[in-house]
């Protein structure tokens, strides 16, 4: 049985799917792709079944990633039964997840795995901004993904 990480933002069309794609590649680069499963979801269900935001997909594609298979979904309370680690993209989603979480659930901010990030740092929502916001999200996600992979290496090996 593999260790399961779920990445969560608001609508599951920008930040968390970008993080899912990057984390998967990063884990593979660290030799963890068979030991850790990664998925993503949103705390809201507005975009359920929709593909990743075109701007997010374009930024990923430009960096050599493929997010074309993504379909948005809403995080359900029952998922705490199989998710070992649930990572929120920002404080708002962290609060929403903790309100759903059973005692002992491991729910944290995603950027807590980036040693260069300030304490309690969010991955800002780029949805209402321009393309530069998606570039910024990609940089933040890549930095945190590497720290997450190092953390998981110690847990699953």
Please list the pLDDT of the chain residue by residue as tens digits (157 residues). Answer: 699 999 999 999 999 999 999 999 999 999 998 999 999 999 999 999 999 999 999 999 999 999 999 999 999 999 999 999 999 999 999 999 999 999 999 999 999 999 999 999 999 999 999 999 999 999 999 999 999 999 999 999 8
Fold of 7-156: Rossmann fold (3.40.50)
Tokens 């929502």, residue located:
125
Could you tell me the residue ranges of all domains in the chain? 7-156
Nearest Cα neighbor of 54 from 134, 141, 136, 138 is 134
Four-point Cα dihedral 149, 127, 59, 51, nearest 10: 80
Give the CA-trace dihedral at 107, 66, 32, 73, to 10 degrees.
Answer: 30
Q: Which of 15, 24, 55, 111 is catalytic?
A: 15
Catalytic residue among 6, 9, 111, 146: 9
Per annotation, catalytic residue among 39, 84, 114, 125: 125
Structure tokens at 86: 């649930």
15 is annotated as an active-site residue: yes
- Three-state DSSP class for residue 36: strand
pTM of the model: 0.97
Task: Indicate if 125 belongs to the active site.
Answer: yes
């Amino acid at each position: 049985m593999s260790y399961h990480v779920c990445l969560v933002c608001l609508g599951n069309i920008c930040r968390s799917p970008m993080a899912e794609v990057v984390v998967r590649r990063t884990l593979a680069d660290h030799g963890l792709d068979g030991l850790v499963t990664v998925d993503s979801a949103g705390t809201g269900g507005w975009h359920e079944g929709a593909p990743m935001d075109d701007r997010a997909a374009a930024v990923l594609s430009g960096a050599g990633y493929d997010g074309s298979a993504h379909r948005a979904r809403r995080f359900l309370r029952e998922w705490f039964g199989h998710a070992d680690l649930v990572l929120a993209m920002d404080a708002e989603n962290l609060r929403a997840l903790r309100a759903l979480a059973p005692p002992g659930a491991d729910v944290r901010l995603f950027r807590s795995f980036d040693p260069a990030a300030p304490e309690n740092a969010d991955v800002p929502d780029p949805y209402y901004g321009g393309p530069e916001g998606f570039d910024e999200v990609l940089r933040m996600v890549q930095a945190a993904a590497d720290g997450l992979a190092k953390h998981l290496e110690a847990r699953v090996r």
